[in-house]
Structures are given as C-alpha cells and as structure tokens.
C-alpha cells in the first residue's frame, strides 16, 4: 500500500548510479577528453580488451617504466593480460633485481622472476628527484583510481601537451599541459606518434598509445574488475529473485491483515 | 510459533526450563506485538542492525590481513585488494558498507523526527539512538584513517586538531590523542585498536536501544498509542517478512555499489599514500560528515569566542541538541501527519541538511560562506526556536480514535489526507 513512498529513495539512488555516466571532470572543472572508441571496461558488463592491455604494457615497458614504477604489481600478474608462464618468465628475465644476502652475506643482482615485484626505475626517492629536476615521478599502479576523472584524466593528460597560450610563463624545466591541475608539469611529453612499434602491427599514433596505456594502467589499478563485474551480475540476479520471493510472501502473509 | 506460556517439550523444553532463550526469542521476536500500521520507513531500524553485523564480519576478516603501521598500512590494504582471496570483495563491502550504514541511519533518524518517535515514553530510546550515532561517527572516522592514504592522514590531522580549540588544555589534549607531536604511527595504532573496539560498544548500546524499544513497542505512523489487541499484530510472521523484503531491496542497492561503483562514494586522493609533507588541495571528509563539516566551517567569531572554538561547539552542538529534542518539541502530538505547520518545517529541515552537505563539499569561499551560515543558523533555529514555539501555536488536526479504526476507514486512500474526517463521518 505504501510502496510508492520508497520511490523517491530508489529514484535518488538511480541518479547516483547514473551519475557515473556523466562526462568526467578534472579538478579544475574543465571537460576531459575521451577516446573515440569507448573504454572497454566501463559499465556493468565491462571487460578488459586483452590486445589493448598488451599494447599498453608494451608502452609502459618501453616508455613509462624509465621513470615510473608499478610498485603493487608482480611479473606473475601479467597472466591477466593473457601471457603464458614462459612469456612472463622471459619478460621478467629482462630486468635485474637485488636479492640476498647470499652465503657470504652480500647482496647480489639476478634476473627477475615471476614472483618478483616489478623492478623500480630508481632505488629511492632522492635518486628519483635527482634524475628528474627535483620532481618525483608518481607510482602508476593506482594512478587511475587516485585521480579525479580516472582513466579519462590519464588519457587527457597524455594527449594534453600543447604550446603554452600567449601570456603563460612556464617555470624552468616545466611543460605546458592543458589537463594537468595548474597546467604546468615537470613531466615532458612522454608519447609522440611512433614512440613504440607495436608487436601486433597496430599503428602507434599518440591517441592509440594513450588509450592503450590508460587501459593497461586501469587494469594495474583494478585487476579484479572482470571478476567483480561477473560476480556482481550473479549476486544481483540472485538478490532480485530472492527479493521477488520475499515480496510475494509478504503480500500473501499480509493479505490476512488488510 | 508456540505461545510463551505453553511449556515446551523435548530438548528445547529441557533447555528452556534452565535457560529461557526460546521463551525470550518468542517473546521478543516471535509473538512480540507491533502496531499493525507500520509503513516501510519502519524498516530502516532492522536494516541498520543488519549492516552493523555485515560491517563487523567484513571488518574482522580485513583485520586478519591488515597491518596497522604507517609504513605498511597502505600497502597491506593493496595486498588485501590483490592477493587475498576475495579480499577486494571484503574491502569494498566494508568501504561501501560504512556509507550504507549512514544513509540507512540518517533515514531512520528522520523517520523518528517526522513521526515524533522521540516523545514520551520513548525519550531514552531516542537518546540511546543519538549515542549510537556518536559512536558510529567515531568508528567511521577512525576506520577511514586506517588505509593511511592522503585523505586518511589529512582528515585525521584536521579533525584531531579541532580539540586544540579547547582553551588552556587544548594542545595537551591533542598531543595526548596523537600519542606524539603529530599524527603518526602511535595515532594509527590506537585508531586501529579503537576502531575494532567501538563496534562492539555499539552492539551493546543497540541492545539497550532494543530493550527500551520493546518496553513500549514501536511508535507508528499515526503516532497514537495502541488501544487494545486489535491494534497489534505479532512481529512474526508479519514484520519478519516485511523486514526481509526490505533487506532484499537494500542488498540490491548495496551490491550495486560494491560490484559496479565501488569507489563512487570515496575520494580518489585516498588511493595516494599518506604524505605528511604534501597537503592535498582540498581536505574533504566522506559524504556522511559533510553537513557537520559545513557547520564547523560556517561559524564566525562570536563575541569573545574565536571562530574555531565556536565552530567546534556548533558542530558538536548540532548532535547534542538531539539529546534534548524530546523536551524542545512541546507538541503533545507525535506524528507529523497531524501537524500541518510542523510538516513543512520538517521538509525545510531536510532540505537544510542537504544544503549543508552540499556546502560542506565546497571550499568556504564567496557565496558558500553565506549559504553555510544561513543553513547552520536555520538548523539551530529549527530545534531551539521553532519546535518549542510550534507546540504552543500550532493547531494539530484531530487524531483518529484508534489505529484499527483509522486503518479500516482509510484503506485505499492516502493515509495522511483522510483519517480525521473519515472517522468523524463514522461516529
């Protein structure tokens, strides 16, 4: 009899959910860029485009990893990109990691294994600052979740390097970016057309690489997204059935009172 | 269900004769008489209880993997998210569960405000509820610090620093809270310890809340006392099934957040590890604290009281005023349905709280300052001026003679329009 009283609550919650579909905004309030083809991972049925993930990993590995770490990832996690155990072994073996101490009490370098965390470009914060004009390159393993606008922000940032507008004075060693808060970033433009040669033959223009590496970084931040979406559909499907049963029972039991 | 008076047989009877748990359950859950006219707004109490249990269980599992150390806390949360089996599920349930707990509790409170559930003989029941709200806020605040992200650290810094506004001993109190000279490892450790303790204190107060509730039973949408058994129905099966249906609807919404928008209600800054050397551009609490944050930042210098202290007093005052609400509201009529002026002011209060939340999410600059000050003033005017006066000047509509007569007469009609007139026609 009073179900209609719940409608406003349901409606406002629906608005909250749909709010996620509104074009994302950066901290400054300006509209962010979005790739021409939509993100494969968005929406309740979203999954990762495996080919894009592998291309994105290639971009990270060949370009970003010179300055940016992925501290929360192990090489073994790359099986989420569809690599086989042997391929992962080969990818890891290209990097050296410090292990030890050995029997003589000394630390030593050895090729990385699947169980190792991704090798970091700098041994410590001071070394990172020293090599980068005083700025510390951010760890990228959570960057997509740690910025207002998420993947759209990262994608926009990579596409946002431009000549500074007239009247804008850049600090020493700074670069103009239309989407970085404050528009001045210590990071020089990392990607330009043809920066990598894709193993799968895809044309490596700036937008393609930005989209691929953003997809990869989204996976790096949220590797369980596909399992979460799959389980979510099952859970909500079950709950709708269960709630339907409860509703029918409620009507039947209460019919004696009404 | 067997009546409590009847002696039970077999093992159940043997146990019940020595430890009357079955009689107790039947008395409090089975045949417990409830008003027959409770609407769906009465579902939110049991919903809050369910989430409390969900939070305790998910929290216990998280605590098994979490490390309360400033150098390890952030990473240990990421290990839960990535390496622990279904760790991401537990974490997202716990994270979003906090928001669900608050939205359900706020609806529960506003239901009490509208239908006058705080009035005699339920004053202590209401005050225990306010105690639960305070405990929830402390628990949520300390829980938010545990992942040791940027917003954890700076939120903890801002909120603990509030106590420095206390004259003379303020600074000593703050270092005592911190266990040092800044928010640091000892702070994180004690917050973890208290965050684990307080939910069980909440459970204890919830039990008192239920004892007080079951003495006189639930209030109801008409706000009138039950006149006899014809006004009541047993809790089981009527309200067990109604609550279960409500829980089902609630869980669908909860699952929607957990599985499809788990970070929607959170702040991205908390996925950056805490950095004491870098203040985030904006320090904002979680959405459920925004109205209080707005009150805190809205109050200017008042006479000899500096703005900071005045803000702290106003913020705590906004909750403490609820303790004396039963005596501020002088109207003898409980339900807002029969209070033609009150119901408009109730609506205005709800809007006022939403406005405060909206202001709290923005920097206190320009018009936001004025709107915040007006909304804060209105909040206190509502409780301290309007409610005492309304009871004296408002002419309430005639009350129905009993619950069952009202229910029978107005079936199929909107209950808030007809009851009084319909009953008059009848008599």
ipTM of the complex: 0.89
Tokens 């705590």, located at residue: B316
What pLDDT does B418 receive? 45
Q: Does the beta-carbon distance from A145 to B252 stay under 8 Å?
A: no
Summarised one tens digit per residue, pLDDT across range B117-128 is 999 999 999 999
- Taking the CA atoms of residue B333, residue B334, residue B340 and residue B343 in that order, the dihedral angle to the nearest 10 degrees is 150
Q: Whole-angstrom Cα distance, residue A42 to residue A38?
A: 8
Instruction: Verify whether the Cβ–Cβ distance B268 to A145 is below 8 Å.
Output: yes
**pLDDT band at residue A26 under the 50/70/90 scheme:** low
Mean pLDDT of B53-72: 98
**Is residue B289 scored above 50 in pLDDT?**
yes
The question of whether B394 is a catalytic residue gets the answer no
Q: What is the pLDDT of residues A94-116, one digit of tens each?
A: 999 999 999 999 999 999 999 99
Residues 102-141 of B with CB under 8 A from A: 107
Would you tell me the crossing angle of helices B342-360 and B290-298 to the nearest 10 degrees? 80
Inform me whether the C-beta atom of residue A47 falls under 8 Å from chain B C-beta atoms.
no
Any catalytic annotation for residue B425?
no
**Sign of the Cα pseudo-torsion (B202, B205, B210, B216, in order):** negative
Contact B406, B325 (CB under 8 A): no
Q: Which residues pair with A176 in a beta bridge?
A: A184
Q: Is the pLDDT of residue B25 over 50?
A: yes
Q: Residue B267: what pLDDT?
A: 96
Which of A6, A20, A229 lies closest to B259 in CB terms? A229
Total-model pTM: 0.91
CA distance linking residue B72 with residue B88, whole number of Å: 18
Closest by CA position to B285, among listed B135, B145, B386:
B145
| pLDDT tens, position by position, A32-82 | 888 887 899 998 999 999 999 999 999 999 999 999 999 999 999 999 999
pLDDT on residue B6: 62
B416 classed as catalytic: no
User: Residue A68 to residues A131, A143, B182: CA-CA distances in angstroms?
Assistant: 12, 11, 30
pLDDT at B246 over 60: yes
The C-alpha torsion from A231 through A236 and A238 to A239, rounded to 10°, is 140
**pLDDT tens-digit series, residues A114-137:** 999 999 999 999 999 999 988 999
* CB of B1 less than 8 A from some CB of A: no
Q: Does the pLDDT of residue A7 top 60, yes or no?
A: no
Q: What does the mean pLDDT of chain A come to?
A: 89
B255-264 average pLDDT score = 97
Helix B290-298 and helix B307-323, axial crossing angle in degrees, nearest 10? 130
Answer yes or no: do B251 and A258 touch at CB < 8 A: no
Chain CA centroid to CA B98, Å: 11
Question: What pLDDT is recorded for position A28?
Answer: 56
pLDDT at residue A27 in the model: 54
Looking at chain A, the whole-number percentage of residues with pLDDT higher than 70 is 88
Q: State mean pLDDT over A201-230.
A: 96
Q: Do A257 and B36 touch (CB under 8 A)?
A: yes
Q: Which pLDDT score is estimated for B1?
A: 44
Q: What is the pLDDT of residues B77-91, one digit of tens each?
A: 999 999 999 999 999
Q: Between B405 and B375, where is the model more confident?
A: B375
Neighbours of B49 (CB within 10 A): 16
Whether residue B53 has pLDDT greater than 80? yes
Does the structure show a pLDDT above 80 at B353? yes
pLDDT for res B414: 47
**Residue B286 a catalytic site member:** yes
Q: Do B248 and A142 touch (CB under 8 A)?
A: no
Calculate mean pLDDT across residues B370-399: 96
Q: Which pLDDT score is estimated for A36?
A: 80
Q: Is pLDDT at A248 greater than 50 in this prediction?
A: yes
Position B420 confidence tier, pLDDT thresholds 50, 70, 90 = very low
pLDDT the model gives residue A14? 52
d(CA B152, CA B401): 54
């Amino acid at each position: 009899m009073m179900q209609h009283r719940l409608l406003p609550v349901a409606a406002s919650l629906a608005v909250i959910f749909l709010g996620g579909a509104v074009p994302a905004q950066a901290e400054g309030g300006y509209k962010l860029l979005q790739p021409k083809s939509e993100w494969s991972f968005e929406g309740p049925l979203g999954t990762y485009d495996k080919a894009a993930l592998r291309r994105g990993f290639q971009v990270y590995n060949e370009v970003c990893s010179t300055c940016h770490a992925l501290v929360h990832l192990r090489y073994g996690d790359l099986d989420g990109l569809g690599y086989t155990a042997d391929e992962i072994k080969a990818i890891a073996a290209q990097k050296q990691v410090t292990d030890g101490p050995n029997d003589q009490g000394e630390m030593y370098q050895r090729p990385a294994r699947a169980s190792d965390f991704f090798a970091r470009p700098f041994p410590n914060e001071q070394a990172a600052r020293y090599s980068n004009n005083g700025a510390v390159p951010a760890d990228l393993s959570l960057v997509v979740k740690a910025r207002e606008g998420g993947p759209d922000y990262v994608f926009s940032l990579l596409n946002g390097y431009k000549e500074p507008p007239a009247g804008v004075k850049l600090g020493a060693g700074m670069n103009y970016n239309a989407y970085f808060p404050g528009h001045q970033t210590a990071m020089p433009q990392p990607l330009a057309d043809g920066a990598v040669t894709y193993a799968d033959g895809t044309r490596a223009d700036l937008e393609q690489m930005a989209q691929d590496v953003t997809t990869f970084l989204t996976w790096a931040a949220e590797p369980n997204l596909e399992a979460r979406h799959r389980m979510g559909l099952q859970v909500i499907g079950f709950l709708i059935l269960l709630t339907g049963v409860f509703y029918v029972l409620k009507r039947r039991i209460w019919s004696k009172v009404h | 269900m067997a009546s409590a008076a009847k002696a039970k047989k077999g093992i159940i009877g043997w146990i019940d004769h020595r430890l009357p748990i079955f009689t107790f359950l039947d008395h409090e859950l089975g045949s417990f008489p409830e008003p027959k006219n409770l609407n769906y707004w009465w579902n939110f109490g049991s919903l809050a209880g369910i989430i409390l249990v969900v939070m305790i269980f998910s929290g216990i599992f998280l605590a098994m993997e979490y490390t309360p150390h400033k150098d390890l806390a952030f990473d240990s949360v990421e290990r839960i998210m990535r390496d622990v089996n279904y760790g991401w599920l537990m974490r997202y349930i716990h994270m979003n569960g906090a928001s669900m707990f608050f939205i359900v509790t706020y609806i529960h409170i506003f239901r009490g405000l509208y239908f006058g559930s705080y009035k005699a003989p339920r004053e202590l029941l209401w005050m225990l509820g306010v105690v639960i709200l305070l405990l929830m806020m402390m628990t949520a605040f300390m829980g938010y610090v545990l992942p040791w992200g940027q917003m954890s650290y700076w939120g903890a810094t801002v909120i603990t620093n509030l106590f420095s506004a206390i004259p003379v001993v303020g600074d000593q109190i703050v270092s005592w809270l911190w266990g040092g000279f800044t928010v640091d490892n000892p702070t994180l450790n004690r917050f973890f310890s208290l965050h684990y303790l307080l939910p069980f204190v909440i459970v204890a107060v919830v039990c008192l809340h239920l004892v007080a509730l079951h003495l006189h039973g639930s209030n109801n949408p008409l706000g009138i006392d039950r006149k006899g058994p014809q006004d009541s129905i047993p809790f089981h099966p009527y309200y067990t099934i109604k609550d279960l249906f409500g829980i089902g609807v609630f869980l669908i919404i909860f699952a929607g957040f957990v599985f499809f928008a788990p970070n929607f209600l959170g702040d991205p800054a908390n996925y950056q590890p805490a950095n004491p050397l870098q203040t985030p551009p904006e320090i904002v609490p979680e959405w459920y604290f925004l109205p209080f944050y707005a009150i805190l930042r809205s109050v200017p210098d008042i006479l000899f009281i500096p703005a900071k202290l005045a803000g702290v007093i106003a913020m705590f005052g906004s909750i403490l005023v609820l303790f004396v609400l039963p005596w501020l509201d002088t109207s003898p009529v409980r339900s807002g349905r029969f209070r033609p002026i009150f119901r408009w002011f109730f609506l205005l209060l709800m809007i006022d709280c939403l406005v405060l939340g909206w202001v709290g999410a923005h920097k206190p600059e320009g018009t936001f300052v004025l709107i915040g000050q007006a909304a804060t003033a209105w909040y206190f005017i509502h409780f301290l001026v309007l409610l005492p006066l309304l009871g004296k000047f408002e002419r309430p509509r005639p009350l129905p003679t009993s619950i069952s007569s009202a229910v029978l007469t107005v079936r199929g009609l909107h209950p808030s329009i007809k009851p009084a007139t319909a009953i008059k026609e009848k008599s």
